[in-house]
Amino acid sequence: MRYVSTRGKAPLVGFTDQLLEGLAPDGGLYLPEEFPPLADIGSAADYTDAAVRITLPFVAGDIPADDWGMLLENAYRRFESPEVTPLVDIGNDHFLLELFHGPTLAFKDIAMQVLGDLFEYELKRRATSVTVIGATSGDTGAAAVQALADRQGIELFMLFPDGGISEAQRRQMTTCQAANVHNLAVDGSFDDCQDLVKAMFSDEAFRNRHGLSAVNSINWARVMMQVVYYAVAVARLNRPITFSVPTGNFGNVYAGHVARRMGADIKGLIIASNRNDILTRFHAESVMEIRDVVRTTSPSMDIQVSSNLERFVFEALGHDGSATEAFMTEFRSNQSIADPTVADAYRNAFSAAMVTDAEGSEVIADLAARLNVLIDPHTAIGVGAVGKLKPEGPVVTLATAHPAKFSDAIAAATGDKPAVPDRLQAALNAPETFQSVPRDLETIKSIIAQSRQEF
């Protein structure tokens, strides 16, 4: 399988090259030249076997099938549920797809546990090292730190918005004492952090000197591994499904779009937004306009600029790299864009709804009272969107994080804090190590350069 950049100016590369590059040299995001047909996974009783079958075409020519199977087996044995992503019936043909049974209690573990092993595997084969940089609105950082801590040949720098994530999310990163992990609290929003990461990738000399790589969902491998749980859910229910997806950076719902393109029987994809509703407004108004980030009780979705949307734009514009680059440039320069071709494709592919903090809190309280089921604030946005749009069942809402990661929001909704799993409690009690930094590219580049010299 070969991979093409959404900007159309970078050479085609294989899977492991795009893995280590993260962002294409021309500033675009990598996509496979074509989406392979979905493998037959039967009833998907064995998640790992299904994952191997679905993703093997994406790594073909770069990683032997036996090695790929071993990597995925190692990754998913770290999950506490034997099903990896179990379905929970909440009535009225509505299910939760629990994606939080990995080491850091969030859906990011599904891909990140694979990436940790995969990076180490490929770096050993090449006898080289990389500097992994990432931006997090909460869960990516914790998952990346857990997956990459103490890995040979990897130095990790994770940028997060100071004060813009929950205490549990922060502590899952900052209590890691591994020498190769560096947490940077940025005076700004997640969008600022993401822009800083992209700016470092755009500096070719800096990128090459320090061997930059990425773990955000700008890295195709992240999206690829998330495709699996959509197909598995369809196979396990054995019916066409509408998925409701709490959405911020667009990677999760885009993975659902890819699963549908590959042949998964998905009849609908709901983009569920909090008050940072640029994606919902784009659906309703055909204009994508950046506004100030609003801090909410679902901080992982406090995003205005969704990186993965570029992959969908590239598809909507007929795989025209120049047109995609022009679209993204105008959007960032003018802070808004109206493109009928992209807007029509977007509306045809997705439905969308915005759910406020108050509405999400009501959802949390209702499920707790009726079913004794606790959900986190992001999942509540997904369930709330289903309540607003009322799609025909079956409906599956992605439960993206364990409620204990957002205990204050749960307590506000229900009156009680959720029980804290032991693996999270350890992080809540341990000392933190992180560096507060200004929203300044040169300062952050200097920190990385200095650490790399010591590395």
- For residues 150-161, average pLDDT: 95
Task: Say if residue 267's pLDDT is above 80.
Answer: yes
Distance CA(436)–CA(186), nearest Å, equals 6
Amino acid 96 reads L
3-state secondary structure of 149: coil
User: Above 80 in pLDDT, residue 455?
Assistant: no
CA 321 vs. chain centroid, Å, equals: 23
- Measured between alpha carbons, how far is 188 from 135 in angstroms, rounded to an integer? 12
Report the chain's mean pLDDT, rounded to a whole number: 96
> What is the predicted pLDDT for the residue at 187?
97
Residues of the chain above pLDDT 70, percent: 99
Helices vs. strands in the chain: H and E counts, helices first: 19, 15
Verify whether residue 108 is a known catalytic residue.
Answer: yes
> Does the pLDDT of residue 183 top 80, yes or no?
yes
Region 353-364: mean pLDDT is: 98
One fold for 3-80+107-220+431-454 and 87-105+226-414: yes
388-429 per-position pLDDT tens digit: 999 999 999 999 999 999 999 999 999 999 999 988 998 888
Model confidence pLDDT, tens digit, residues 302-337: 999 999 999 999 999 999 999 999 999 999 999 999
| Axis crossing angle, helix 220-237 with helix 108-126, rounded to the nearest 10 | 130
pLDDT of the residue at 154 = 95
Residue 157's DSSP bridge partners are 133, 182
Percent of the chain at pLDDT > 90 equals 92
**Which pLDDT score is estimated for 453?**
59
Average pLDDT score over residue span 166-188? 94
Thinking of the domain 3-80+107-220+431-454, which architecture would CATH place it in? 3-Layer(aba) Sandwich (3.40)
DSSP code string of 414-433:
HSSPPPPPHHHHHHHHSPP-
The domain locations on the chain are: 3-80+107-220+431-454, 87-105+226-414
Position 132 pLDDT exceeds 80: yes
Selected from 3.90.76.10, 3.30.1300.10, 3.40.50.1100, 3.40.50.20, the CATH number assigned to the domain covering 87-105+226-414 reads: 3.40.50.1100
Q: Which of 199, 207, 192 is nearest to 442 (CA)?
A: 199
Instruction: State the catalytic residue, choosing from 108, 198, 267, 388.
Output: 108
Whether residue 246 contacts residue 100, with contact meaning beta carbons closer than 8 Å, is answered with no
Residue-wise pLDDT for 197-230, tens only, equals 999 999 999 999 999 998 888 899 999 999 999 9
CB 142 within 8 A of CB 167: no
Provide mean pLDDT across the span 4-27.
96
